[in-house]
Structure 1
């Protein structure tokens, strides 16, 4: 049987558990020590992985909605951050493709902008697992396996081996991800997007700057 790339969080967790010699869970709420550990660490490790690189598959772009009330101090206007998908990390806030200075307080972006300005947010979000590239998924699996080996099976040598594999796979995942865009600097435009799924967008940009 040809191995398949996991397409759900449970399948990713199961792959990691099998690699370290554990019985795969059926649910994150299974009443086992390994399921408890996996339920505790899974999303934290995934978000850490997403935050370590500007992954093209996790980049989003949206026009922001301006709040009616102006900020009390410092900034001209406040804009609501997207909630679906939620923003993990802000990359840039632009007006007419020009990056702007901004602050983030609670769930709002504070910026100096006129009422008729179109304010665009470029950000990292948490995609659905089925949209992870195989190279990224394998890196995540190795990261999870390393933690399981140390915290559940108490095998430091196995944990160290998977940590090294994870480091190598991270480099492969970054290299593969970088091949999806031009090698020149990319200037993002809200008009160049391809819809990959419900609420998920990836920038497909042909305009570059030297």
Structure 2
């Protein structure tokens, strides 16, 4: 009887151990498949399709019907080894304008470049060129927003502390014409600044090549702090 019990316990232990090995192997194979999936780039949407994806996401945000896509544990595994964002967004470093939230997107969907005043600097341009030329994002949006503090400072032309004035200088070229137009000077300058920064981006040879080949679309946007809506600026 003792021999039988020991043998039964041994067999039980063997089955349990084998089952544990099966789970471990299964988990390992699942992780391998996730890594493979991450290494294979998904089908890149057209520039127009990418823009529509942002517009649709913003509409969901405005209507308070977010889907929270690409925010699961599986998604973390998918993008752990490689990223394939469908859009690059140059936006203001304002806490109220987080691109993934206002466009209802998830991890790895948007390549974010954020500076006060959504300005083009050598560093921000290099980041954008990396996203467009090396990661292959088909859409580039310059996103300004209502009552932008950086634009307001440029319009008022007041003395600023430290290096705060550095990004204000990059916006000043649009201020004069904005003041001459009817309406609020700051709001005029917000739109004008987006257009001005887009013009600066188009001086990049890398971006120009992608534009001319039809692989890239550059658009402007204005975010409304009150409604959450994004208006496309042409």
Calculate the TM-score normalised by the size of structure 2: 0.24
User: Larger % of helix: which?
Assistant: 2
Larger Rg: 2
The structure whose RCO (Cα within 8 Å, separation 6+) is larger is 1
- Between Structure 1 and Structure 2, the one with more strand by share is 1
